[in-house]
A and B are shown apart, each in its own frame.
Chain A
Amino acid sequence: DIQMTQSPSSVSASIGDGVTITCRASQDINNWLAWYQLKPGKAPKLLISAAYRLQGGVPERFSGSGSGTDFNLIITGLQPEDFATYFCQQGHSFPLTFGGGTKVEI
């Protein structure tokens, strides 16, 4: 299985701040990486696929970068609705695997 290591596990930030979340794969996954946002009581939301492709309706303050084994999710200008938990997920091969998650807190 491909292991996904995500950091940090949590980050404290303020409205307007920028945050970078890192995800590292245990092997080359090309750009088969997605980022999801999870909030309690809500359906998970796909933010980015193929490492950098922003999904429709996702604000442009979210961006993704990286390829191979190292990836970033960057949030610029945090908004109140961005405080949530974020997960990376590799799609290079089954079984699909996720990073451990990053909780973005106020």
Chain B
Amino acid sequence: QVRLQESGPGLVKPSETLALICNVSFYSIDNGLYWGWFRRPPGKGLEWIGSTYSGRTFYNPSLKSRLTISVDASNNQFSMRLTSVAAADAALYYCARGLDAYTYDSWGQGALVAVSS
């Protein structure tokens, strides 16, 4: 069964770049599915950050100017980079596998990211 695990810094300084990696196990990331990032700020709901599929990327317009999602097939990982972070970017970040553009059937447990100087 596929397993996803997020990794990254627990704390990022304001204006710096947040980089997260999602390690995928027991399923090849090359197998033509969607791979996505989501987040949940404290006390708030879920937000879609963006996804990648077959070399294409799809970004939430609210984050697009600061966001890059990429795939490292050799390590069976995908990642996100969010530049110029602010307090509003503090959240529990999840990576997930999508069976199609919107049905995400397998998720990681989440990586908590705080933003503070």
Contact = CB atoms under 8 A, between A and B. Distances in A.
B102 A44 contact: no
Interface string A43-66: 111100110000100000000000
A38 to B, nearest CB: 8
Interface in A68-106: 87, 89-92, 94-101
B117 interface: no
Interface residues of B, number: 24
A103 to B, nearest CB: 11
Question: What is the predominant secondary structure among interface residues of chain A facing chain B?
Answer: loop
A34 interface: yes
Contacts of A1: 61
Contacts of B47: 98
Interface in B95-115: 96, 99-110
B58 interface: yes
Given A44-B94, A95-B60, A87 B46 contact: yes
B45 A44 contact: no
A90 B102 CA distance: 8
Contact of B102 (A42, A87, A96, A100): A96
Contacts of B106: 43, 46
B31 interface: no
B91 to A, nearest CB: 13
Contact of B103 (A34, A38, A42, A87): A34
B46 A101 contact: yes
A46 B61 contact: no
B74 interface: no
Interface of B: 4, 40, 45-48, 58, 60-62, 94, 96, 99-110
Given A100-B45, A101-B45, 10 more contacts: A34-B104, A38-B40, A44-B94, A45-B107, A89-B46, A89-B102, A91-B100, A92-B102, A95-B48, A99-B45
15 contacts: A34-B104, A42-B109, A46-B105, A49-B99, A89-B48, A89-B102, A90-B102, A91-B102, A94-B58, A95-B60, A96-B48, A96-B101, A98-B48, A99-B45, A101-B46
